[in-house]
Amino acid sequence: MSTSNINPKIEESWKSQLMDQFEAPYFQFLREFLIAEKQQQTVYPPGGQIFNAFDFTPFEAVKVVILGQDPYHGPGQAHGLSFSVPSGVAPPPSLVNIFKELNTDLGNPIPKGGNLESWARQGVLLLNATLTVRARQAGSHQKQGWETFTDAVIKRISDHREGVVFLLWGKFAQAKSALINADRHHILTAPHPSPFSAHYGFFGCKHFSQANQLLEQQGLSPIDWSVA
């Protein structure tokens, strides 16, 4: 496939930052894998939403990064933003625990919905390490190239931005700290908000108030973490 014909449907600032990745051999393999998968399987999120995290949060707008591992694999849950679900879909357990911590940390009421688009529009990059998944099969699209792509995203932010707050929850996310220049950025770590681990230190981590304090210290507006 000719790389000269590549025109990914992704927000323009990210397209310019990541074109070298779209043109790389591993991404051609990933593209072919996804085409074959979609011929035989249901894949989430829908194709037009795979790059939602980038479309909602342009490169220069990124103030906070929340890193997830995989999209949700249930019907109608994944829409391209880590931990988020579309309006009208019940929040999964990890997201419920995020809302519980927000309630404790900032007093935010626990919402019935779980659409985090408002966060993304304010500069919170809701990035999954793997951007697609086969229906009802968690982790099914890991090690096909997405991790190489999203590692490049993290490295690009680390190298070309300053003062971004990275919220790394759980061992998987924390391993990505090796890609981040801690002299240029802020890294906050805690256990994953999953029901299996939230009680070991995610509850009480106060990452949301800490992130806002770090932004305000740089003269940036804090994130309104409320969810409709």
- The reply to whether 70 belongs to the active site is yes
Q: Fill in the DSSP letter of residue 114.
A: -
Find tokens 């990059």 and name the residue.
Answer: 125
Report residue 58: phi and psi, to 5°. Answer: -60, 160
Whole-number Å distance between alpha carbons of 223 and 139: 30
- Choose, from 55, 70, 105, 183, the residue flagged as catalytic: 70
Angle between helices 146-160 and 25-40 (to 10 degrees): 130
Angstrom distances, CA of residue 79 to CA of 43, 71, 164: 11, 8, 24
> Degrees (nearest 5) of the Cα angle 139, 142, 144?
150
Q: Which residues are catalytic?
A: 70
